[in-house]
Amino acid sequence: MKTFILIATLLITITHIHIAYAGVISYNVVITFLDDTTFTGSFNYDAAKQQVTNLRGIMNDYLMGNIEFINYQIPSPSSESDGKGGIIGYAFELNTNVIGTNPPKNNNAGVGINFNAVDPTLGATDLGKLAYMDCSPGGLMGQTCMYDLSWYNPVVPMEGGHGVLSQKITASSQISRSDCLFNWAEVNYSQLFSPAKVTSQTSSPYYYRYYQNTNAYLGVSSANTHVYYLDQYGNLQDVGSLSSWLTVAGC
C-alpha cells in the first residue's frame, strides 16, 4: 500500500504528460421514467471543454405507443453545470425549447439528461435534472401535456409527476474513461492488478474491477469522483481525484 501511494504521489507531479484520450467521445443514453416513458438516444461529449453536442434520440410513451423523435439540442453546444460536478443537456422535437402549455399548443416534446462531468458513464450527479416533456398530440393525456420535471412548475394544463427509474450511459465506440484508467493501471502496475482485462462491475457508488490473483480492487466512486484502491488486507484507500489520474494515464 505504501508503495502504491508513493507511486501515485510521484506520478501526479509529472509535468510533461501526453494526453492520448483527449477529444470528443460518443455515448449512448437510456432513461426510464416512473410512468414507463423512455428516452433512448446518443450524444457527444468533450470532457476537456465539458461540452455536450448532438444530443438526440427517441422518446417512447409505451402506454400509448406514441413515439417522438428528439432531434434538436438547445443550446448546442451545452456546458451547463448542475453545481454538483455534473453537466446538463436538453433536446427537443421541434427546433425550439418552448413547450406550449397554454393554447395554442405547439406539440413540442423534449428531454433533459445529466451526467458526471469527468466520466459520463458514472451516471447522474443530480437525478432531479433528468426530465421529459411531452405535448405531442398522441400523448397519454390527449390535449394535456405530460412531464417529469422536479425543477419546474408548469403552467396548466400540463400534468405529470416525478420519478426516474434509471439512467444508463455507455461509451458507444470507445471504452469509458474509467476503463481506460483501469487498463493503464493493469499495464503499469501489474504487480498490483492481476490478471489484466477483467470485466468492470458496478456496485453503487463504485464502478470497479476485482483482481483475483492479487485479491485487490480498483474503482471509481460516483459519490465524489475519486479513485479507490482496496488491497488484499481490506485496507480501502482514496488515492486522489479521477481527473488527476486520467491526466496521468493519458485518458
Q: Is the pLDDT of residue 164 over 80?
A: no
Domain coordinates of the chain in residue numbers? 24-171, 175-249
Q: Distance between alpha carbon 145 and the CA centroid of its chain, in Å?
A: 27
% of the chain surpassing 70 pLDDT? 79
Query: Which pLDDT score is estimated for 35?
Result: 73
Q: What tens digit of pLDDT does each residue of 145-154 get?
A: 777 776 555 5
Residue 135 has pLDDT above 90, yes or no: no
Q: Under a CB-based contact definition with an 8 Å cutoff, are residues 241 and 181 in contact?
A: no
- As a whole number, mean pLDDT of residues 21-45 equals 86
Mean pLDDT value across residues 9-31: 59
Is a pLDDT exceeding 70 seen at residue 160?
A: no
C-alpha cell at 234: 481490506
- Domain 175-249 maps to which CATH number in 3.10.50, 1.10.3470, 1.10.10, 3.30.1120? 3.30.1120
Give just the sign of the alpha carbon dihedral 99, 96, 106, 93: negative
What gap in Å lies between CA 247 and CA 47, rounded to an integer? 11
Q: Give the three-class secondary structure for 7.
A: helix
| Mean of all residue pLDDT scores within the chain | 82
